Structure 1
Amino acid sequence: MEEIEVVVAHGERATLRVGDVFLKVDVDQTRTDVEVEAMAMVPIPTPEVLWRKPPVLALAALPGTALGRLGEPSTASSAAWAAAGAAARLLHDAPLPPWPGRSLDQIASRLDGECAWLVTNGVLSADLVTRNRRVAEAALRPWTPVFMHGDLQVSHVFVDGDEITGVIDWSEAAQGDALYDLAILTLGHEEHLGDVVAGYGTHVDLDVIRAWWSLRSLLAIRWLIENGFDPSLPGCEFDVLRARM
């Protein structure tokens, strides 16, 4: 009999694995709508949709292993990281999805609120928050929208040797900034930024990628804490912010 593995679970959604099938349970079916539609549109490998019966989406497991994990050294080759950059470029060159992403004003407003919460609640020092808020400013500039994955964490990219076998978790896909995807992919893995950029194959502004590291970390910390995750673990969001000092 197959065992049930809880991959991730919090108040909004849960992902279970039973053998070679992943069961995603989400209280917000619009996220699942986005995930299914995005996977049908993109020019890179994605999991096969086996069936859908709200609130459950069943997906086939991808071959290979995750490119890495936040807070852990990646054992993947430089070529695999470069392949991830090339896959991101294919995605960003694809026709835009019909739905928009967050606007600059929305991101800036949320950033202000999260920074205030971090300081008011004593989660991080005012100096650390202020410094990273200043670094994050470089990301808040106009961009030409691309088809953005929106949550291109290193654990969402699967590889077999040096080849990309697929990318998972498309519920945040939207029109957005290409450099945001590259930043999320390399968050906590700065040593592989050069490999990713080489695979991406065109000039990118590294200061903007570093700005997105700060911005994304500042935005994520409260959600992580409130949902039972620990951003203070080695190599995770607190360390990402401290590295900007």
Structure 2
Amino acid sequence: MAEVKVVVAHDERATLRVGDVFLKVDGDQTRTDVEVEAMALAPVPTPEVLWRRPPVLAIAAVPGTELGHLGRPSTASPAAWAAAGAAVWKIHDAPLPPWPGPRLDDIAADLETECEWLLANAVLPTDLITRNREIAESALRPWTPVFTHGDLQTNHVFVDGDEVTGVIDWSEAARGDALHDLAVLTLGYEQHLDDVLDGYGTDVDREVIRAWWSMRSLLAVRWLLGHGFDPSTPGCEFDVLRSRM
């Protein structure tokens, strides 16, 4: 009998692994709709959808290992990181998905709200929050929308040797800023930014990527703390924010 393993579980969604099958349970079927359609549109390897019976989506495991996991050193080669960059370019170069993405005004409002909460609750030193907010605001500029994954963490990219074998968790896919995807992929792995951009193959504004590192970290802290995750773990969001100082 296959072991049942809890991959992630909180009050929004849960993912279980049973052998080579992942069961994703999500109370918001809009996210699942996006995930299924985005995987069908994506020009990179994605998990096979085995069946869907709301609120459960069953997908097959992809081969390979995670490119990395925030807070842990990555064992992937520079060539594997470059291959991830090339895969991101394929996604961004694909036709836009038919649904919209996050609005600039909404992101700016979220940044203000989260920074106010961080300050009011003394989660981090005031100068650290203020400086990172200043940096993050550089990401709040007009961009040409592309097909973005939306949550391209390193543990959502799987590699085998120097090849990308699968990209998972597409529920945040939308029209968005290409540099946001690149920033999420390299968050906490600044030493691999050059490798990723070598594979991506197009000149980008690195300062905007760094702005998204601050933005992503500031916006994530309250959610992480409220869902049982620890942003103060070495190499994670608090360290990313400190590194900007």
Normalising by structure 1, we get a TM-score of 1.00
Provide the residue aligned with 1:16 in structure 2: 16
Provide the residue aligned with 2:179 in structure 1: 179
CA distance in 2, matches of 1:121, 1:191: 32
Provide the residue aligned with 1:107 in structure 2: 107
CA deviation string 1:72-112 (max 9, x = no partner): 11000000000000000000000000111111100000000
Provide the residue aligned with 2:196 in structure 1: 196
Is 1:58 aligned to 2:68, yes or no? no
Provide the residue aligned with 1:93 in structure 2: 93
Is 1:144 aligned to 2:144, yes or no? yes
CA distance in 2, matches of 1:197, 1:50: 34
Provide the residue aligned with 1:76 in structure 2: 76
Provide the residue aligned with 1:165 in structure 2: 165
Provide the residue aligned with 1:30 in structure 2: 30
Query: How far apart are 1:122 and its partner, in Å?
Result: 1.1
Query: How far apart are 1:126 and its partner, in Å?
Result: 1.1
CA distance in 2, matches of 1:156, 1:149: 10
CA RMSD of aligned residues (A): 0.4
Provide the residue aligned with 1:155 in structure 2: 155
Provide the residue aligned with 1:234 in structure 2: 234
CA distance in 1, matches of 2:32, 2:114: 26
CA deviation string 1:10-40 (max 9, x = no partner): 0000000000000000010000000000000
Query: How far apart are 1:138 and its partner, in Å?
Result: 1.1
CA deviation string 1:202-245 (max 9, x = no partner): 10100000000000000000000000000000000000000000
| Paired positions, count | 245
Structure 1 residue runs of 5 or longer lacking an equivalent are: none
Provide the residue aligned with 1:124 in structure 2: 124
Moved over 3 A (4+): none
Query: How far apart are 1:115 and its partner, in Å?
Result: 0.2
CA deviation string 1:110-147 (max 9, x = no partner): 00000000010111111100000000111000000000
AA at the equivalent of 2:136: A
CA distance in 1, matches of 2:2, 2:137: 49
Q: Report SS of the residue matched to 1:122.
A: coil
AA at the equivalent of 2:26: D
CA distance in 2, matches of 1:164, 1:120: 43
CA distance in 1, matches of 2:199, 2:102: 27
CA deviation string 1:163-193 (max 9, x = no partner): 0001000000000000000000000000000
Query: How far apart are 1:162 and its partner, in Å?
Result: 0.3
CA distance in 1, matches of 2:170, 2:193: 22
Q: Report SS of the residue matched to 2:59.
A: strand
Provide the residue aligned with 1:41 in structure 2: 41
Provide the residue aligned with 1:217 in structure 2: 217
Query: How far apart are 1:61 and its partner, in Å?
Result: 0.3
Normalising by structure 2, we get a TM-score of 1.00
The percentage of counterpart residues that share the same residue type is: 76
AA at the equivalent of 1:234: P
Q: Report SS of the residue matched to 1:229.
A: coil
AA at the equivalent of 2:19: G
